[in-house]
């Protein structure tokens, strides 16, 4: 069981907006540590999608956005496209466990 909790799956139709939540606790997200998001396409290594809660690395479309509040964070994807179908992971720091990942969320584009 992961320290950061994500829904196992989400889905949406092309063009729609979906959000993926990442719930932590007072020893990680709630302690003020940054949340980062990764996208893992099938059969490939993960790729950094959002850093420092809400910053997009160069090359990441602005359809992807991140936010953080209290002990939780969210990844939003607008204008859903077929190519967005992937696994998404949040990541933060935990004062006792060091770097921690969420359990991952599988996004299905209907």
51 scored as a contact of other proteins (CB under 8 A): yes
Taking contact as CB under 8 A, which single stretch among the options 17-25, 61-69, 72-80, 92-100 is the one that binds other proteins? Answer: 92-100
How many other C-beta atoms can be found within 10 angstroms of the C-beta atom of residue 106? 16
* Pick 13 or 44: Cβ nearer other proteins: 44
Cα(98)–Cα(67) distance, rounded to whole angstroms?
A: 21
Residue 58 interacting with other proteins (CB under 8 A): no
What is the DSSP pairing of strand 9-12 with strand 105-109?
parallel
Q: Do residues 2 and 102 touch, judged by C-beta distance below 8 A?
A: yes
Pairing verdict, β 72-77 and 64-69: antiparallel
- Count of residues that bind other proteins according to CB under 8 A: 26
Position 33 contacts other proteins (CB under 8 A): yes
HSE-CB at 6 with a 13 A cutoff on CA atoms is 27
Taking CB under 8 A as the criterion, which residues in 59-88 touch other proteins? 87
**Positions that interact with other proteins (CB under 8 A):** 2, 33-34, 36, 38, 40, 45-48, 51-52, 57, 87, 89, 91, 93, 96-104
């Amino acid at each position: 069981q992961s320290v950061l909790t994500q829904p196992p799956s989400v889905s949406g139709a092309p063009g729609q907006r979906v959000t993926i939540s990442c719930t932590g606790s007072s020893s990680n997200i709630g302690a003020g540590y940054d949340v980062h998001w990764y996208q893992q396409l099938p059969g490939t290594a993960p790729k950094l999608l959002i850093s420092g809660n809400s910053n997009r690395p160069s090359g990441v479309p602005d359809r992807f956005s991140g936010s953080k509040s209290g002990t939780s964070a969210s990844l939003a994807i607008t204008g859903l496209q077929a190519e967005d179908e992937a696994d998404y992971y949040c990541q933060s720091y935990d004062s006792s466990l060091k770097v921690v990942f969420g359990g991952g969320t599988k996004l299905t584009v209907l």
